[in-house]
Structure 1
């Protein structure tokens, strides 16, 4: 009696050998999960669980007086047979000729055009990236070109703000703000949202001002707000009355 596991059974489909006398036997025929009752009795011999494969094709070695076949003869016959086979046109190898260069040049031009299109589609990401943006700005400095402006309102830092009655326009307020661009790249002037609140924090007036409404210089609008640049913005808005006690500024 032996103790064994499923891995041992699977190795030879249940056919195992005794570790004491090296006799082989089929363990599946007498497999049990519990010990048999005593006294133990020797079980009858059984056949293996599988039948060994039978070999029908015999290979005879030639006698010493017969010359052994040479490998060159079948190889020569194989070469003659290969010469009779017609190779398809698409499988024939051709030496590259001078007529291939237009195709190579066309593929190269198309690849460059595709790369340019992808770069233009992802220009904002490339310019905003510290590595690629620095490389692009350096290249434009050498080539005397200008990169398109990339908008990132999260990089605009409000340093100071103030509101007062307009000195020359009646029923109007004059709001000023100091803004710094913390980005490494120039970005367009933001759309500024101004909201006025009453004493309870309820919004009573709101207005969105585009760059053309608070900047009088078209050239400054085209240049945008440079990297690490600080500027003062002034806004003229209607005075909603004494109910307005505080305000907020948002950049878009």
Structure 2
């Protein structure tokens, strides 16, 4: 802050602590004049050149300090009740006084936040809706990943046990790579001329049931030249629809019989593949 001596017009820079001892009055170090520094007190100097600082009127009503930053709490007073004078009776004896003060030392006060609150029906309905949505989302994800879950070595048996208990049936998971050909045989068809009867024994190495595969049989000659090929759908070699619906159980072995036309004496080799 800045102030100016009214006699020699010297401008001084001062701190607020200098205004406290003499209620704003200071002594000019140049001319020894004592003056009220509040009359020309300024936060900043005006642009040069200047001669006098702006003077403030000091005879106005005190301004209102409205922006409070701190207010101490009022101290609690320990008020001790003053005993009343005991009135005397007509016989000169004092009246008996009774202490009617109640003893609250055994009371237990429970904080408001610790009291149980009753849940409204809206809260229960909201929780029910959220739970239903979460379960529905979980069911959708499980159905989308059903093949992976059923084929899993840990989750698959648990799902199978749950379905056995509930009387349901797990969907079949196709895994042709886990079908293993154990034995095969080709012989002349007993009742069809120029026909061959091919028998194959297939084992399901998977721990879960899978649908009967599409079987491709290729007949070739001694040079490996393909002579004939046919793809057999499950209904071509499994006539019972109920058996096809159950699929090939996990770890089970089944016999498959196929009827093909004899391509002649040149056919000396045949191959199986599963799709």
Superposed counterparts of 1:105-120, under 5 Å:
105-120=128-143
1:74 match: 70
1:45 match: none
Instruction: Report the Cα offset of residue 238 of structure 1.
Output: 1.2
State the distance in 2 between where 1:221 and 1:187 align. Answer: 10
**The structure with more helix, counted as a fraction of residues:** 1
Tell me if 1:178 matches 2:174: no
State the distance in 2 between where 1:205 and 1:74 align. Answer: 101
State the distance in 1 between where 2:225 and 2:194 align. Answer: 21
Instruction: Report the Cα offset of residue 171 of structure 1.
Output: 1.3
1:236 match: 259
2:271 match: 248
1:124 match: 147
The C-alpha deviation readout for 1:72-127, integer Å capped at 9, x for no partner, is x72679xxxxxxxxxxxxxxxxx975423322221211111111111111111100
Instruction: Report the Cα offset of residue 59 of structure 1.
Output: 11
State the distance in 2 between where 1:98 and 1:76 align. Answer: 46
2:100 match: none
Instruction: Report the Cα offset of residue 218 of structure 1.
Output: 1.2
Instruction: Report the Cα offset of residue 214 of structure 1.
Output: 0.5
1:195 match: 218
What is the TM-score with the length of structure 1 in the denominator? Answer: 0.62
2:6 match: none
How many residue pairs match? The answer is 168
Larger radius of gyration between Structure 1 and Structure 2? 2
Superposed counterparts of 1:185-224, under 5 Å:
185-224=208-247
What is the TM-score with the length of structure 2 in the denominator? Answer: 0.57
Superposed counterparts of 1:56-71, under 5 Å:
none
State the distance in 1 between where 2:121 and 2:241 align. Answer: 55
* CA RMSD, 1 decimal: 2.5
